[in-house]
Amino acid sequence: MEVATIRIQKPAISSEPFKVSLGLTPELMELEPDSPIASEHELKLCKTAEGTNLTGIFSTLDNEEPSMEGWITHKMQCLPVYNTQYLKMKEHYLRSAKPPRRVKPLNHIVKNYKPVSSHAHNKDDCKRKDGSKMLSKDNILDLLFQAFEKHQYYTLKDLQFITKQSVFVLKAILKDIGDYNKDPAHKKMWELKEEYRHY
């Protein structure tokens, strides 16, 4: 049976290549109507690059030795024409490739997590905020003097941890009652001024 027809269209300009198309016959298309294929194809002519090994064409008749018929100097690339029929074919194959959705019975209980109004990390943040409330100057001084009774030198970070006050508040108070050391032994540490020391 006839399966396809090749059409060669001469170009308007001689320098351009010939337009070659291949069309499948309706008889061939009706053989498997459930699996559609593209009926129109474009054959693009490609010249073989120089220096590549040429492919030969041989023919055999009955049990005779093969005879040389020629060489392949051009290759053709078969591409389907992008039309509605091609899109239907692609859609059909994509749908058949996807697995159908199925209902899967569960043999165990699935945990459902209820919404929580306040998470654990939010509670920790609230505790930290409550712990770092602004104290009066007298209360901060009491905490500082109690700390300096235990140790002579403190870093600003340690005093901030003890008093739970901001750096700006602490610095303002420490400038009145303390000295900032630049000595290599106790560099960047605070100690009480001489008038406040009793050790």
Ramachandran angles phi, psi of 46, nearest 5°: -125, 130
Q: Please tell me whether residues 80 and 145 are part of one structural domain.
A: no
Q: Which residues span the domain enclosing 78?
A: 4-48+69-97
Task: Evaluate whether 132 touches 165 at the Cβ level (below 8 Å).
Answer: yes
How far is CA 93 from each of CA 30, 38, 195, rounded to the nearest angstrom?
A: 18, 12, 92
**3-state SS class at 28:** helix
pLDDT in tens, 140-199: 888 888 888 888 888 888 888 888 888 888 888 888 888 888 888 888 888 888 887 776
Look at residues 113, 101, 44 and name the one whose alpha carbon lies nearest to residue 75. 44
Q: Please tell me whether residues 15 and 90 are part of one structural domain.
A: yes
Q: Please tell me whether residues 26 and 84 are part of one structural domain.
A: yes
pLDDT in tens, 52-76: 677 888 998 888 888 989 988 777 8
Q: Please tell me whether residues 91 and 153 are part of one structural domain.
A: no
Indicate the pTM of the whole model: 0.37
Q: Does 62 map to a domain?
A: no
Task: Evaluate whether 5 touches 23 at the Cβ level (below 8 Å).
Answer: yes
